[in-house]
Chains A and B, each alone.
Chain A
Amino acid sequence: MAETPTTDLTALRRSPLESLAEAMREGSVTGPRAVALREIPFLAMAGIRVTPGTDAARALCDVVGLELPERVGRVTGSPEATALLWQGPDEYLLVAPDETEVPAGLHERELEPGALPSLSTHPLVARLSSALAASGERGQVVDLSANRTTLELTGPAAREVLEKGCPLDLHPREFAVGEAVSTTLGPVQVLLWRTGEERWRVMPRASFARYTALWLLDAMLEFASPAVA
């Protein structure tokens, strides 16, 4: 009997924290010092390198429908839809909802160097690659969706949990809602994105995700009990 090849590869994906979903639900704390942890799996991410002000930058902005964020901490767009995070003076991270569309000819031509502008199966990332190629200028668009996963920490105690292991000042006067930076949480390099007053995204690389989630669960533990005066 002939085997039917799987065409929907998304059914085979496993997110880095799938095995901890239960532990994160159970480790979430309620009450006056509530803090909850969950994974937002499979967000699409793409690394963009382009010099601001060039034709290539304008072409990419037109495709995304957003301006480039201008300096450290800045984010354009929104966490619920599509966003561009500042990573460096000519480096940005696109974060977008999960979507899969296998580009025409991928299976036949993926091994042919340069035959396709992009091997990404995310339609927006593929469109960005095509726009950059068409601009003829220097730059880079790389699908990094599998590089990091996203943890969401929410609740009135969320900031206190992060403050146990982050060297930055997370007080709202220094770290406004909507800002995102690269820093460390414990020993792990993460992107930290404040998406709401009491809502943070912590984005570690996939191989550090388990450690980071367990670190956060441990840091959350004390908030289940009343504060010690």
Chain B
Amino acid sequence: MLLIECPYCGPRDETEYHYGGEAHVPYPEDPFELSDREWAEYLFYRNNPKGLLKERWVHTVGCRRWFNVVRDTASYEITAVYRMGENAPQPGGQ
């Protein structure tokens, strides 16, 4: 069970949240300009690192807000939590 720190509510059990996939995937400026292959890549292709991944979570049963998490996909350690619209903290910086 992960203990995830909601930026608005504080630490809550993982069961209070839903996962929203990789963060910072920009919506195409003009989707009609994309080829089918580019559109499919936007919809379905994501980085799959072993290590730190920036991802989106939503506090479903609490404040219902979306926010970003930096999580190590191998150790599950969460190294940062930041709000939508904020920049990801630099590793070691904070």
Indicate if B38 sits at the interface (CB-CB under 8 A): no
Q: Is the CB–CB distance between A88 and B16 below 8 Å?
A: no
> Which single member of A88, A89, A167, A189 contacts B12 (CB below 8 Å)?
A167
Interface string of A162-180 (1 = CB under 8 A from B): 0000011000000000000
Q: Is the CB of A183 within 8 A of B8?
A: no
Q: Is A182 touching B8 in the complex (CB atoms < 8 A)?
A: no
Q: Mark B1-26, 1 if CB is under 8 A from A, else 0.
A: 00000001110110110000000000
Main secondary structure of the interface of B (DSSP, over half): loop
Establish whether residues B62 and A183, one from each chain, have CB atoms under 8 Å apart when the complex forms.
yes
Give chain B's interface residue range (CB within 8 Å of chain A): 10 to 19
Which of B8, B13, B60, B61 gathers the greatest number of chain A CB atoms within 10 Å?
B61
The reply to whether B63 and A167 contact each other, CB–CB distance below 8 Å, is no
Establish whether residues A88 and B13, one from each chain, have CB atoms under 8 Å apart when the complex forms. Answer: no
> In the complex, A91 Cα to B10 Cα: how many Å?
17
Q: Which residue of B lies closest to A89 (CB)?
A: B8
B3 CB to nearest chain A CB (Å): 10
B46 within 8 A of A: no
Q: Please tell me if the beta carbons of B61 and A183 are within 8 angstroms of each other in the complex.
A: yes
Q: A167-B15, A167-B16 are in contact. Are A184 and B61 (CB under 8 A)?
A: yes
Is B16 a contact of A183 with CB atoms below 8 Å?
Answer: yes
Mask of B55-69 contacts with A, CB within 8 angstroms, 1/0: 000001111110000
- A-binding residues in B (CB < 8 A): 8-10, 12-13, 15-16, 60-65
- In the complex, 28 of the A-B residue pairs with CB atoms within 8 angstroms, ordered by the A residue number, are A71-B8, A72-B9, A72-B62, A72-B63, A87-B63, A87-B64, A88-B8, A88-B63, A88-B64, A89-B8, A89-B65, A91-B63, A91-B64, A167-B12, A167-B13, A167-B15, A167-B16, A168-B12, A182-B61, A182-B62, A182-B63, A183-B12, A183-B16, A183-B62, A184-B16, A184-B61, A189-B60, A189-B61
20 extra interchain contacts, Cβ-Cβ under 8 A, other than A72-B8, A88-B63, A88-B64? A71-B8, A72-B10, A72-B63, A87-B63, A88-B65, A89-B8, A89-B65, A167-B15, A167-B16, A168-B12, A181-B9, A181-B62, A182-B61, A182-B62, A182-B63, A183-B12, A183-B61, A183-B62, A184-B16, A189-B61
